[in-house]
Structure 1
């Protein structure tokens, strides 16, 4: 049986994606994988020239590159504030069933993830009665959304998706329509939460499959080992000045690959000052989380000030 994995890659995420794939293959030697790389860009030479190294790590996998014509999304909404990240990748993700030439289930992973353990329990779970299995977000952002408050807001950076149900229920189309109408701050993530929770087709799974933010700190605090580490936010583990849980884990995996010279990035003074700025911004953002209207107003004002 083949397990399907999907990444959406572009810009500076090619090397992090390679490191993520390396970690996946290293810790799951007994599974057969087909890994889809979706991108609007041409193939990364450095990425694909080093596939042979991965073949030495794991002998039963295949990588398929899928180029996506970005012009089909030219008329779609784009970012209008600092919290909104409406890129082509958002629409690629919501339209994932249109691009993958498979049926069944696929594990979508953001490129800034590390698979630090076996995925057997996740990949073998019964998905027939749901559309998505995902871990809770570090914050339950249900307030103000058209979702019962008994539901839990999930993080969409790691999603195990039943593609057949996703397609049959037109999830991508409904989520994109929600973005057109509501322009939510966390675009695809919020659109997916609203669309899928309204259908009651979400299986909330353990944070060990998406340890990010608060969850990562809790796992590290109690010396527990999450299975998938997700390095959300702007301060990534490959940035020299970044201090965050499990940074050394990412650096360790990277150092074992042919792309080990990718770390460290941004070692200069300007990057150091930017890292401190991002830390302050993230702290203020977290404090304003319970007040979404005020958060958006302050964010818009701050962005306008910074651009001057």
Structure 2
């Protein structure tokens, strides 16, 4: 069984469906996949669309309602405040995998929802982690992510050390469950913690020296059409150009539309436009 965890809200239902479908399409045994879906409340229509993955491919789905468990209220009060509009408290959900998943699960593959999986995940999931707590790919723009404007130094991180993207992580759950994130961060000054890039900074800080570097092909970020020649195993649309946006220029854009299916792709576009108009009306 391959254990996969994802975290998303109702505004990201279609990309989540596309990522899950890409995994099922590129494996010989989708019935051996188990998805642990950490989510905010979903509409019945959107949840049924995601649930169709089980019906169509035989994968097992474990829906975990975060609001029902009050995970994103009391538990993250001491975490860095969400400042970027494109992020919401759901980004912290992966920190609670140890509490939310079956204690018998020994390792889990955490995946963001803006991914296109292009090959079977068995080699990644079954790899030798060599005693590390996490296996992940380096953040390509790590110097800027670590230091920010004018590359000013931060006490919590050194640009001489590796810094990893948290969108694709193979996790040893025994070590992950043993991590007390708040206690590990307790020694940081408030002004230093305020500069944290949310859960990704927290994971890099708390597991420093315990993250195994993966090849870039397992998380090729922000790929453009020219990068298709690299034949990545996982494409990560982590920046603002997303494959469902009409103006974006990203790798495998046409294939991604069919991956999401034409019906869901255009439905999702219409829903995004309606949300945008509602937001503009509220501002006006």
Q: TM-score normalised to the size of structure 2?
A: 0.79
Q: Distance in 1 between matches of 2:35 and 2:73?
A: 24
Residue matched to 1:259: 264
Do the aligned partners of residues 235 and 159 (structure 1) sit closer, same or farther apart at CA in structure 2, a change above 3 Å counting?
Answer: same
- Confirm or deny: 8 A CA contact 1:132 1:203 kept in the other structure: yes
Residue 140 and residue 58 in structure 1: after superposition, are their counterparts in 2 closer, same or farther (change >3 A)?
A: same
Match of 1:190 among 201, 206, 223: 201
Q: How far has the Cα of 1:161 moved from its partner?
A: 0.8
Larger deviation, residues 46-55 vs 156-165: 46-55
Go from structure 1 to structure 2 and tell me whether the alpha carbon gap of 1:177 and 1:183 turns closer, same or farther (over 3 Å shift).
farther
Structure 1 partner of 2:62:
64
Residue-pair matches, total:
261
Deviation at 1:83, TM superposition (A): 8.3
2-structure distance, mates of 1:235, 1:51: 23
Q: Mapping of 1:104-183 within 5 angstroms?
A: 104-127=106-129, 129-141=131-143, 142=146, 144-145=153-154, 146-147=156-157, 149-171=159-181, 174=184, 182-183=193-194
Rounded to whole Å, the distance in 1 between the matches of 2:186 and 2:215 is 27
Secondary structure of residue in 2 paired with 1:101: coil
For 2:95, the equivalent position in structure 1 comes to 94
Q: How many Å apart are 1:13 and its aligned residue?
A: 0.6
What is aligned with 1:201?
210
Task: Give the 3 Å change call, closer, same or farther, for CA 150–121 of structure 1 in structure 2.
Answer: farther
1:15 aligned residue: 14
Tell me, yes or no, if the aligned pair for 2:10 and 2:43 is still in contact at 8 Å: no
Question: Tell me, which stretches of 5 or more residues in structure 2 are unaligned?
Answer: 148-152, 278-282
Give RMSD over aligned pairs.
Answer: 3.1
What do residues 233-284 of structure 1 show as CA deviations (whole Å, max 9, x unaligned)?
Answer: 233211222222332232121126x62433645679x99xxxxxxxxxxxxx
Q: Distance in 1 between matches of 2:175 and 2:165?
A: 19
Shift of 1:128: 5.5
Give the Cα–Cα distance (whole angstroms) in 1 for the partners of residues 166 and 134 of structure 2.
10
Rate the CA distance shift 1:122–1:98 in 2: closer, same or farther, 3 A: same
* Aligned residue number for residue 280 of structure 1: none
Contact persistence 2:133–2:207 (CA under 8 A): yes
